[in-house]
Structure 1
Amino acid sequence: MSTVDLPDPVVVARAAEVDTAALEAALADAVDGEVRFDAGSLAAYSTDASNFRQVPIGVVVPRTPEAAAAAVAVAHAHGAPVLSRGGGTSLAGQCTNTAVVIDWSKYCNRLLSVDTDERTCVVEPGIVLDDLNRELAPTGLRFGPEPATHMNCTLGGMIGNNSCGATAQRTGKVVDNIAELEVLCHDGTRFWCGPTDDDAYAAIERRGDPKAAIYRQLRALRDTYADRIRAGFPDIPRRVSGYNLDSLLPEHGFDVAGLLVGSESTLVTVLRAKLKLVPVVRERTLVVLGYPSVDKAADAVPAILPHEPIALEGLDAKLIRDEQLKHLNPDALSELPAGHAFLMVQFGGETTDEADRRAHDMLDAIHDTEHAANVEVLDDPAHETQLWQVREAGLGATAHVPHRPDTFEGWEDSAVAPEKLGDYLRRLRELYAEFGYASDTGPSLYGHFGQGCVHTRIPFDLYTAQGVATYRRFLERAADLVAELGGSLSGEHGDGQTRGELLPRMFGPDLMRAFGQLKTIFDPHNRMNPGKVVAPAPLDSHLRLGGDWAPATPQDVYFRYPDDGGSFADAANRCVGVGRCRQHSTDGGEVMCPSYQVTGEEEHSTRGRARLLFEMLNGHGDSPITDGWRSTEVRDALDLCLACKGCKTDCPAGVDMATYKAEFLAHHYKGRQWRRPRAHLALGWLPVLARSVGRARLTRVVNALAKVPALRRLATRAAGLADREIPAFANETLQQWFGRRRPRGDGSRGTVLLWPDTFTNRFHPRVGRAAVELVEDAGWRVIMPSEPVCCGLTWISTGQLATAKRVLTRTVGTLAPHLRTGGLVLGLEPSCTAVFRSDAAELFPEDRDVRRLREQTVTLAELLTEHSPGYQPPRLPTGTRAITQVHCHQHAVLGWDADQELLRRAGVDAERLDSGCCGLAGNFGFEPDHHEVSVACAERVLLPRVRAADPGTVVLADGFSCRTQVHELDSGGREAMHLAELLTRHPHDEE
């Protein structure tokens, strides 16, 4: 075989110089799918979870693999590069490029067939791993490799990166679990491939077609480099770096599919995949071992491996510290034994006894040896799940830690042989110290220790030229260290741009030449994800930040962003791309991101919106978004944000899109209120409208008119609202009722101020009346403001922040005398209560009364549990069951633990629904063009569960929006009630 030089990097630049208008028109004509060259889409796909940023040429969302093939054909005709993208969570820059990006995840996500006898299935590349395994569950089989991003990573992305995860201890890497691939070259050559014996090779050779030509060249490449492949490829469990040339060796069956796994879209586009499946492990036992240091934990790994754990993970105390600072997984952290580093060793079996026996055999073997440890054995699945969440939260937990420098990828998945892991960690920490990255608050170390793979995020200074230069020198030295130890630069996340330039340090010139020749066989014109793996762009180019990053830094912001140094730019930069917002299920009680869950659109995920806000600041001067706060692209992306605040808690980086949306809207319409949607005015000023209706004694008239369909449609159209039922005003407000009643209760526990929020006061005063009765019976004296008051929520959610700040200032002034005596404020409506606990402090972080308001505001359940020692709620009839729709703001800001405890004390069998957002979300569901998304959110879980519930089951929903959604949509005539109503509805004294 003749020597072929590496692809010319200049080709990359030429490939990007295409006629984009002609390309877009041709794609739109040829592709069954969505073709997007708009600025918003380009911004949303400009980066992945890495340090890199490249603005795409355009984005194609195909409906079928055939549509994707048509897109590649058009790109080939126009000389345009192509990049296949799955979940977009790659950490080495392989999912960002100046190319036509094919996003498989929205439509091409089907499980096509399953063969249980053969233990295989065929999938499209956009299917999410968790979704696949849920569909496979009835068969007792699953796909083995499971990265920490299993809830949102796609199989196509896993194939591209040769993903692994904790389960690889048992099942290996993706390359070990692929039976066949259907692939497409940039020039249109398309074929299925897999292991190829001599007879199969001869049959392909006889065809004389383009596939035969490729196979002929691959065999010649193998024969030329076979000995050097055997000598130069590290014999370790986690060699992910480089192309899988070893798959072509005779001892590996000339496996062309295996060769293409891990090629990061630089060789072919994967259209379909036939996967090998493994049986589900029936029972598991988790052993947690505590050690004095992370290197000592690593030293123990070789003594544990002979006992065949199905997973063997390591983590140090710094990761635990970071999770504690971010309030992640608090229950699980209490399960850890004493130590400054931990090994999580999981054993499996057909029975619990079998798994337990294997665990105890391992413990017996290391007892009285240098590897003895503090031990915690868990065989409770709930506790095990919680502890695995500690490990899986590593990426998010180590990003944006409060009061710590920002950390970044770059050296997050190196791997060595397990027997060298302890030595590697000691020398890596020395390297941290040499480069100034080590300190008491320095990088945590964790990862798949059973296979020698180490994860870490390092406080690189990627904001200055000097910091970037130091980053480069560190990566070069770290690469040399791994190569010296016979390891792999990447043990899981791939090479991309981060490690592509460093590969010669690991493989040497001969194998790098082989990589270049392989690239030329499949992609002679360098149009498949150019600049990655071979002929790579420098590791310090195309940085998302970098020494030349100079974003606009708005100074006139309304929120003060206390956790981001007062900078909106830093807040917009919080997203690290891990993609938790792209999950398709809310299993585990998470909320975000409801609009993504029902649309499948990157632009309507928290991550996508964060990318648009980042681009809006135009820190590189080439952003597709050029009009700052006036951007219609950002406005449109934020339009379907329900402001549920789910991301504030569920996003491991703490992105708070509801706040960013309010900030953006305030500036977008500043000085041009006339451009605001009428719905913003009608719903934002709802408290004033409701007060006016009450003052004019028009409640009954307005309610009667709202029930006339023609008049309702006329009124909603005039107000710019969707044609939905108008909630009825109460004939008597809560404040009016409270003002005419005589206080009850002895006040032995003190005085609490019940906050008369607009929704409770004007629409559902029955909730407030029940709460007053309950709280007084608990021994509290209840007081309530008599004048009109408001928290400002509706102005905040519609981005009318100047008004919101004025309203809040008046409110805090009203409450100040009570707060300064240490008095508690009781909130009944979660969204309004969350304003006091969160938004107000972010608008006025230095105001001491606002701080008091944040600390002294409580929910009903918190008041009756945490602040009322010894209190026993009314005991409800035996067998009382409830399904609970937890309000998004309660989930994100207030918490539900106290509610769960209070319900338990009351004898209620309460199930928290994994339903996420109800879909109404305050003003969102009442705005035009939102109705479809609003209903789709409710129909995911909430409404089906309400309809299916036993007639005696209570539907519990503290949020006015949630109760309204259940009332108005098709819920089988069921109504939801507030916790206060439930506890005063059927009091039943135990005999």
Structure 2
Amino acid sequence: MLVQPLHFVPVNPLGLSSSSPLARLLHKELRGDVLFSQADRGRYATDASIYQIMPIGVVVPRDQDDLLTCLDIARSEKTPILARGGGTSQCGQTVGEALVIDNSKWLNKVIDFDKEKLSITVEPGMVLDHLNAWLKPHGLWFPVDVSTAAQCTIGGMAGNNSCGSRSIEYGNMVHNVLGIDAVLADGTQARFETLENMTQNARVQQIVQGLQQIATRERDEIIERVPKVLRRVAGYNIDLFDCQNPLAYTDDGSANLAHILVGSEGTLAYSRQITLKLAPLPAVKVLGVINFPTFYQAMDMTQHIVKLKPTAVELVDRTMIDLSLSNPAFRPVIEKALVGQPQAILLVEFAGDSKAELLEKLSALSDLMSDLGLPESVTNMIDAGEQKALWDVRKAGLNIMMSMKGDGKPVSFIEDCAVPLVHLAEYTERLTEVFHKYQTEGTWYAHASVGTLHVRPILDMRRNGAADMRAIAEEASALVREYKGAYSGEHGDGLCRGEWVAWQYGPKLNQAFSEIKNLFDPDNRYNPDKIVRPPKMDDKSNFRFAPGYRELPIASKMDWSAWNVTRDPASGLETAPGTGDDRTGGLAKAVEMCNNNGHCRKFDAGTMCPSYRITKDERHVTRGRANTLRLAISGQLGDDGLASAEVKEVLDLCVSCKGCKRDCPTGVDMAKVKIEARAAWVDRNGSTLRDRMVAFMPRYAPYASRIGGLLAAGERLPWVAGWLKKFVGLAPQRAFPKFQRSFLSQQTESTSAGSKEVLLFVDTFNNYMEPENAAAAQAVLQAAGYTVHLNIKANERPLCCGRTFLSAGLVDEAKKEARRTLDALMPFVHRGVAVVGLEPSCLLSLRDEFLSYGYGDEAKELAASAFLFEEFLVKEQAAGRIDLALLDLQPLTSNKAALHGHCHQKAFDAVRPVQAVLKWIPELDVSLIESSCCGMAGSFGYEAEHYAASQAMGELSLFPAIREADAGTIFVADGTSCRHQIADGTQQNALHVARVLAMSLGRP
């Protein structure tokens, strides 16, 4: 669902550069964002490569008029321009000392659509997945399906000449672009398309004639030097006039001048609208997963597999398999594909209109593998859901690889060399020997079908990585030349392969590229120093970890030693985990886990990242936050480190949903980092009254519950409530929490119902605000035959997880609560009694934050024994310890239930157990609301300055889904915040799953 971005004005958008005439002029003339602060520029100084170059400034144009005005101003000020979309380039194409223009927030509209002609015109900021979601109802798609489809933009794809998994069937970007409306460096607007259709004014005519003269003059050199493989994206597409080319860019062999812009990386013109060729959506797809005992066999047999005419053949190597198995989101998916312990698997897809024909192709694939000596090696996947899930794992390949902890990381610089399939096995074997020569290992995945394998040697770019990168590149290039391949096969040139353009094409064509650049951009203002006159790939001054990079000393409050690891360079495996004493280095490395892939910018699945979904601002996405934090802890934003105002600003809309903990393939845990940043801010600046009111709620709740009626009466006096809310900083639209008589105060320490035992951990919210949930859980557990113990100790206040203290940055107070909780619960844990909780954010703290307090084995033992209410029921039922007949569940008055999962449930894969126990109720149809964060997020939605953002998050999908549900639907939400947000946003009551089960038992 596409939504209008909610606009939040930066605290100081012009920052220290406000004296810049360019900044002042842009700010005066444009309606979009003009960002010149050090932090804003730093967030755009990197892409998904190893490079960092601080831009002059950043502009986010509101519309096409804004864009044209910005280009006019830049031209008058002689300012270099750099177009940017999702910022996912892996070679440094979208970093440079220029004025960065971010198309992704506003320039993302469909301009024209012709279903009959299979064409569509879009603005450059259109995200590929957004486009395909728009096209799906028409039975069409844009088939250049790159792995970053959820965040990459069409403009960026055109700039890089992107390819995707199914290029063997559909070709590269250049084969699927019909026309480009562009702005030249001198301000001329022109449409580039087929020669016969182009309108040629004097300026355009000059360019066309110049291109034709160059192509004619260098025809022999083009035939000799341009690689004869599909995947070749280096330099400019100078061979577009060669109609005899067997890899021609157009179906009819005609010359299309738009194709000179495709792959030009924004160095020739600014593409403001792009017309694409569409394809019908395949009616049916099937997938065969081939398991290979050796990597060499997978590479060697690909040449035979492609003869079956698949639409894709994609590689996943053993390293990626192991990393996928270690990721809770990917493990169940990859396990279904494996046969034994393969060293590599190939995903072979067939697509078409007839399922029967495709099943025959799968059968032929199995027969082929038997003939090749690998019987029983193919796992067939017919179900569309299973196929998509496995493709999602493959698409996350790069990010999975980058999830390695420690300083050594897989580095992109030779990762998409393309060689003919007949040489693929030998090439990969010899390149592996090169890696071993330099005492490292490579990670392999991707496009086996076209001989383009993404391989990244594991290098430490803080130390000797640059020298090894240069040496490996030189040896790899010699292999590519020997096998008559292409050194740049998919991801473009940028900073890491620009200098290799001359090597690939020779001095004559390299000079021709300079002439082409001069034809279009004689002043070298459009993305300067890319493709033509590029820097050396190992110019360390351009590295993200440049010489002199340091980390400020940080007294971290929590244990980050898991990230401070060393790694065997030859195997890439962790050899020495960090210790709890080295916490600061681990925190820095946890932040640096972000490789800028931009997966947090996705829009249609998972939780991450709710604040970006409502703002479309780089500063309000996990990547932008991670970059800001990295700049802060390395002193690039000053000496304040985590306590800086810039860090506070980027974390302002972070709702600590933990979506990134699960959805981010590299495992950036921004919620945990925010705790440290919040603590650093509080240590320096102190806490507000509002923050302390929230933080200490568990301690004053016993007293508030005794005067709950008085508090409720105050809410009925608008002038009193309004003044108090304004004084504290609460949203006037929200009602004060309603305290009730404590559930635990009415209980004894245990209620006997059977020989089995369980301890019900009743949190502050379910004890003092919604005691009916605790009563329902107690009733269900008793009905299941359990003696239910409660967290009651005479003359002591109830136990607390400490989460409210964490949200306020009071980590030491949270640790005190954790210590008290451990002391009370460990006797139960030691005798094998499970600890069961109702509130996801509270109970899951026992499995997450408690492990970071330095409490050692005790914390680990409690974490292993702590379960959400529904997790416990599912576990016990699977073990045969619950007889469902014992529960005696009956149909409800409604036969439909809609479930919204709490963010922390999603982060810990704990939503499925809720679905499972609801399905125990006879005749109940359970549906899952595909939603991100509800928007309440603890106290976030109560805060006056965050109310609008809170509601916008709810409106993304949760509120509409509830409003559109059938009358009588039961809404289920385990989170206290979620239930309150649903009530405020939709006037519907949502229930904890324990209450739904109790209702089915006939309990109130």
Equivalent in the alignment of 1:805: 815
In structure 1, how many angstroms separate the alpha carbons of the residues matched to 2:699 and 2:74? 56
SS of alignment partner, residue 349 of structure 2:
strand
What pairs up with 1:928-967 in 2 under 5 angstroms?
Answer: 928-967=944-983
Give yes or no for contact 1:917–1:938 (8 Å, CA) kept in 2: yes
TM superposition shift of 1:480: 2.2
Equivalent in the alignment of 2:919: 904
In structure 1, how many angstroms separate the alpha carbons of the residues matched to 2:481 and 2:514? 20
Q: Does 2:634 correspond to 1:628?
A: no
In structure 2, how many angstroms separate the alpha carbons of the residues matched to 1:174 and 1:899? 43
Give yes or no for contact 1:311–1:347 (8 Å, CA) kept in 2: yes
Q: Which moved more, 1:876-885 or 1:90-99?
A: 876-885
What pairs up with 1:271-670 in 2 under 5 angstroms?
Answer: 271-338=272-339, 339-365=342-368, 367-369=370-372, 374-401=377-404, 405-438=408-441, 443-464=442-463, 466-541=464-539, 542-546=541-545, 548-565=547-564, 566=583, 567-586=586-605, 590-618=606-634, 623-624=636-637, 627-670=640-683
SS of alignment partner, residue 649 of structure 1:
helix
Give yes or no for contact 1:291–1:341 (8 Å, CA) kept in 2: yes
Give yes or no for contact 1:121–1:275 (8 Å, CA) kept in 2: yes
Equivalent in the alignment of 2:578: none
TM superposition shift of 1:507: 1.7
Change (3 A) 1:217 1:317: same
SS of alignment partner, residue 556 of structure 1:
coil
In structure 1, how many angstroms separate the alpha carbons of the residues matched to 2:465 and 2:315? 30
In structure 1, how many angstroms separate the alpha carbons of the residues matched to 2:133 and 2:977? 31
SS of alignment partner, residue 273 of structure 1:
strand
Q: Does 2:186 correspond to 1:193?
A: no
1:614-651 Cα shifts (integer Å, max 9, x gaps): 111236xxx35554233212211110111111101000
In structure 2, how many angstroms separate the alpha carbons of the residues matched to 1:343 and 1:354? 21
Give yes or no for contact 1:554–1:568 (8 Å, CA) kept in 2: no
TM superposition shift of 1:260: 0.9
TM superposition shift of 1:983: 0.3
Change (3 A) 1:595 1:98: same
Counterpart of 2:726, as a letter, is R
Q: Given the two structures, how large is their TM-score scaled by the length of structure 2?
A: 0.91
Q: CA-atom RMSD, angstroms?
A: 2.1
Equivalent in the alignment of 1:861: 870
Q: Which moved more, 1:774-783 or 1:721-730?
A: 721-730
Counterpart of 1:507, as a letter, is Y
Give yes or no for contact 2:702–2:742 (8 Å, CA) kept in 1: no
Unaligned stretches of 5+ in structure 2? 1-16, 245-252, 565-582
Give yes or no for contact 2:145–2:165 (8 Å, CA) kept in 1: yes
1:673-713 Cα shifts (integer Å, max 9, x gaps): 1xx4443222222222323313xx21111122123322221
Counterpart of 1:260, as a letter, is L
In structure 1, how many angstroms separate the alpha carbons of the residues matched to 2:173 and 2:277? 9
Q: Which moved more, 1:795-804 or 1:127-136?
A: 795-804
TM superposition shift of 1:54: 0.9
In structure 2, how many angstroms separate the alpha carbons of the residues matched to 1:60 and 1:644? 29
Question: How high is the sequence identity, in percent, across the aligned residues?
Answer: 33
SS of alignment partner, residue 456 of structure 1:
strand
Q: Which moved more, 1:850-859 or 1:915-924?
A: 850-859
SS of alignment partner, residue 195 of structure 2:
coil
Counterpart of 1:142, as a letter, is W
Counterpart of 1:336, as a letter, is A
Equivalent in the alignment of 1:217: 210
Change (3 A) 1:469 1:405: closer
1:530-555 Cα shifts (integer Å, max 9, x gaps): 22222112212244444624322434
Q: Does 2:769 correspond to 1:763?
A: yes
In structure 2, how many angstroms separate the alpha carbons of the residues matched to 1:716 and 1:121? 51
Q: Which moved more, 1:381-390 or 1:639-648?
A: 381-390
SS of alignment partner, residue 320 of structure 2:
helix
Equivalent in the alignment of 1:241: 234
1:216-272 Cα shifts (integer Å, max 9, x gaps): 211111112122112111111111222111123344433221111011112211100
What pairs up with 1:25-44 in 2 under 5 angstroms?
Answer: 25-44=24-43
SS of alignment partner, residue 777 of structure 2:
helix
Change (3 A) 1:529 1:641: same
Give yes or no for contact 2:91–2:413 (8 Å, CA) kept in 1: yes
Q: Does 2:747 correspond to 1:743?
A: no
1:365-414 Cα shifts (integer Å, max 9, x gaps): 55423576711222111111122122112111111335894333223222
Give yes or no for contact 1:761–1:768 (8 Å, CA) kept in 2: yes
In structure 1, how many angstroms separate the alpha carbons of the residues matched to 2:385 and 2:609? 24
TM superposition shift of 1:114: 0.8
Give yes or no for contact 2:338–2:379 (8 Å, CA) kept in 1: yes
Change (3 A) 1:813 1:549: farther
Give yes or no for contact 1:520–1:526 (8 Å, CA) kept in 2: yes
In structure 1, how many angstroms separate the alpha carbons of the residues matched to 2:189 and 2:806? 54
Q: Does 2:783 correspond to 1:777?
A: yes
Change (3 A) 1:370 1:781: closer
SS of alignment partner, residue 444 of structure 1:
strand
Equivalent in the alignment of 1:734: 743
In structure 2, how many angstroms separate the alpha carbons of the residues matched to 1:562 and 1:815? 26
Q: Given the two structures, how large is their TM-score scaled by the length of structure 1?
A: 0.92
In structure 1, how many angstroms separate the alpha carbons of the residues matched to 2:328 and 2:471? 34
Q: Does 2:817 correspond to 1:824?
A: no
Counterpart of 2:905, as a letter, is Q
Equivalent in the alignment of 2:182: 183
Equivalent in the alignment of 1:4: none
In structure 1, how many angstroms separate the alpha carbons of the residues matched to 2:237 and 2:18? 35
Give yes or no for contact 1:687–1:758 (8 Å, CA) kept in 2: yes
In structure 2, how many angstroms separate the alpha carbons of the residues matched to 1:215 and 1:742? 86
TM superposition shift of 1:455: 1.1
Equivalent in the alignment of 2:997: 983
Give yes or no for contact 1:874–1:984 (8 Å, CA) kept in 2: no
TM superposition shift of 1:328: 3.9
Unaligned stretches of 5+ in structure 1? 1-17
1:696-752 Cα shifts (integer Å, max 9, x gaps): x2111112212332222122112222213334434321111223x982412x222x2
Counterpart of 2:194, as a letter, is P
Equivalent in the alignment of 2:129: 130
Q: Does 2:877 correspond to 1:877?
A: no
Give yes or no for contact 1:42–1:59 (8 Å, CA) kept in 2: yes
Give yes or no for contact 2:781–2:788 (8 Å, CA) kept in 1: yes
1:919-948 Cα shifts (integer Å, max 9, x gaps): 000011111211111001111111111111
Change (3 A) 1:931 1:301: same
Change (3 A) 1:554 1:93: same
Give yes or no for contact 1:320–1:333 (8 Å, CA) kept in 2: yes
SS of alignment partner, residue 866 of structure 1:
helix
Counterpart of 2:903, as a letter, is C
Change (3 A) 1:479 1:516: same
In structure 2, how many angstroms separate the alpha carbons of the residues matched to 1:572 and 1:249? 49
Change (3 A) 1:874 1:952: farther
Q: Which moved more, 1:559-568 or 1:937-946?
A: 559-568
Q: Which moved more, 1:358-367 or 1:954-963?
A: 358-367
Give yes or no for contact 1:767–1:980 (8 Å, CA) kept in 2: yes
SS of alignment partner, residue 639 of structure 1:
coil
1:778-801 Cα shifts (integer Å, max 9, x gaps): 222212222322111011112222
